[in-house]
Amino acid sequence: MPDVSGIRRLHRERFGQEPEVFMAPGRVNLIGEHTDYADGFVMPAAINFATLAAVSPAADRNATLFSRNFNESVSLSLDLIGEHGSHHWSDYPFGVLSVLQQERISVPGFHLTLDGDVPLGAGLSSSASIEVASMLAMLHVAGVELPLPKVALLCQRAENDYVGAPCGIMDQFVSCCGAADHALLLDCRSLGYRLAPIPKHLSLVICNTMVKHSHAGGEYGTRRAEVEEGTAILRRHRPEIRLLRDATVDDLKRWGHEMPPNVLKRCRHIITDSNRTVAAADALEAKDLATVGRLMAEAHASYRDDFEASCPEADIMVELANKLEGCVGARLTGGGFGGCTVNLVESNHAAQFAASISAAYEKATGIHPEIYQSRASAGAHKVGQDVVVSHR
């Protein structure tokens, strides 16, 4: 987590005011990819990489942002926020402000300082952590409290409409509602959830392939369109199918021949991965780690072969992980097309696992990876005066 005392000091130096500070974590998804916008199930965990937002009121009607990561300041009149972004980092906080304005929540002028250590473009949801931290900060200066699930929905809307990235609800929801030492099984239709314990003798080792991706368009948008095409075909036969959450593997067996081959594969991944996700939560609760590992392996194969959202580097990383001592399960996580793998590793082997996989991956690909060791962490909240030392 970034340095709390550092962001307080930076904010005081720039704006001459003592801020309140809010934290929102990134996330790693243990299982369930691209199932969220199909109203299916996902099982992410919040991680101890986060965005901090320091905020104080301004005397004028401007929203002034400073990003420590980009070393850049941006200021806009509250009357000029608009409804669409400009493909700039400020789209995330300004998008949040735009949505709050649409909700008729009167946010006065403010100064906002942002600092985060969620790796960008790695599939660990840096965007959601920025949105959630920014929204909690803006709600504070507005004097308004909202339930965290509502905050998640509004942040998702900001990313969908203002940023232009067609994400589902998972990233923002777990950033808001994650819990220490637990994964979160989320029903993306009802937003009901239950916590699945991650045994304390296991660590989350996240391996960054260093292959970057963007969700705003490109392959992510193409896959989502393919899923919608398949859903529409099934709906012709079963009108009660609103989204793939309502469809079954048997439906694909009956009517999949009407779909283009790529569309059939996309739908098969989402339906089966949603089923695997519920099974993995049950296995965690039962402390059946062998089943968790098997389901993660099946999920990666489906993501690679049916959704075709992996890449050679990620496949190599997963293959290497499964050969190392202490590895319970490994798979590509996040939106796909690069990013990170998530590995459940016995904690007493985690340090050696990290060193071994880094060396082996670099030898195989010529790319030096970044390896992050984490535990499942708490969701978004206001941060007290205590100092948190950065681990960057």
Q: Identify whether the C-beta of residue 38 lies closer than 8 Å to the C-beta of residue 229.
A: no
Distance CA 249, CA 272 (A): 7
Catalytic residue among 36, 115, 171, 306: 171
Using N-to-C axis directions, what is the helix angle for 218-237 and 261-285, rounded to 10°?
90
Residue 13 DSSP symbol: H
Distance CA 88, CA 66 (A): 13
Count CA atoms within 13 Å of residue 344 on its CB side: 29
| Helix 91-102 × helix 148-157 angle, to 10° | 110
Q: Is 351 exposed, middle or buried (0-12, 13-18, 19+ CB in 10 A)?
A: middle
Q: Report which of 201, 355, 367 is spatially closest to residue 287, judged by C-alpha positions.
A: 201
For 190, other C-beta atoms within 10 Å of its C-beta total 8
Catalytic residue status for 79 = no
Residue positions annotated with a catalytic role? 171
